[in-house]
């Protein structure tokens, strides 16, 4: 689903702020790669981001997109999620939310749930180390796949 223009502007402003604060040059390629990840909440794959950016910037390479997406993860601008055994999808929405992963089509959907946010971690989880944040990933059949008979 496409994000609103207001949401994209907020994300792009934050992106510019973080990149400049990190002392990284703000190139057109870097801007377009982040913009492409931010345009939708569909958690686009590397190849999708590359293909769409390349339409606007024909000289961009797959390696540049790959390295830039990983740089953005290190800067806390993107998160990567690997549904099932497929390729990673990138999420530019760094606000607190959870994910529903369809086990049939691999789609990843964001959702907010106050009840899940209030879950207390068990002592065994806390013994593993300092927890900075937590999100829940739920797996099942999405509504679109549930309406469609499974192919054999």
Q: Which residues contact 150 (CB under 8 A, 6 or more apart)?
A: 104
Is there a contact between 75 and 15 (Cβ–Cβ < 8 Å)? no
- Containing 38, the helix (H) or strand (E) segment is helix 28-38
| Most confident range, picked from 33-37, 84-88, 110-114, 133-137 | 33-37
Structural domains for the chain: 5-81 (1.10.10.10), 96-146 (3.30.1490.190)
3-state secondary structure of 49: helix
pLDDT higher at 30 or 83? 30
Question: pLDDT band at residue 83, thresholds of 50, 70 and 90?
Answer: low
Residue 72 vs residue 108, higher pLDDT: 72
Residue 2 has pLDDT above 90, yes or no: no
DSSP conformation letters of 80-146: EE--TTS--EEE---SS-EEEEETTT--EEEE--HHHHTPPPPHHHHTTS-------EEEE--HHHH
Integer CA distances (angstroms), 52 to 4, 40, 87, 94, 147, in order: 19, 12, 17, 22, 30
- How far apart are the C-alpha atoms of 45 and 83, rounded to whole Å? 11
Residue with tokens 């797996």: 139
Confidence of residue 90 (pLDDT cuts 50, 70, 90): very high
On whether the pTM is more than 0.85, the answer is: no
Residue-level pLDDT at 152: 62
């Amino acid at each position: 689903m496409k994000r609103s223009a207001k949401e994209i502007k907020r994300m792009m402003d934050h992106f510019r702020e973080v990149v400049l604060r990190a002392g990284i040059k703000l190139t057109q390629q870097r801007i377009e790669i982040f913009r492409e990840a931010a345009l939708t909440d569909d958690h686009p794959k590397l190849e999708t981001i590359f293909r769409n950016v390349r339409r606007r910037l024909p000289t961009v390479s797959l390696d540049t997109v790959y390295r830039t997406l990983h740089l953005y993860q290190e800067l806390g601008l993107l998160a990567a999620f690997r549904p099932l055994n497929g390729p990673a999808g990138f999420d530019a929405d760094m606000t607190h939310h959870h994910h529903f992963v369809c086990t049939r089509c691999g789609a990843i959907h964001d959702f907010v749930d106050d009840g899940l946010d209030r879950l207390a971690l068990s002592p065994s989880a806390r013994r593993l180390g300092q927890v900075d944040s937590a999100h829940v990933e739920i797996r099942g059949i999405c509504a679109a796949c549930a309406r469609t008979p499974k192919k054999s």
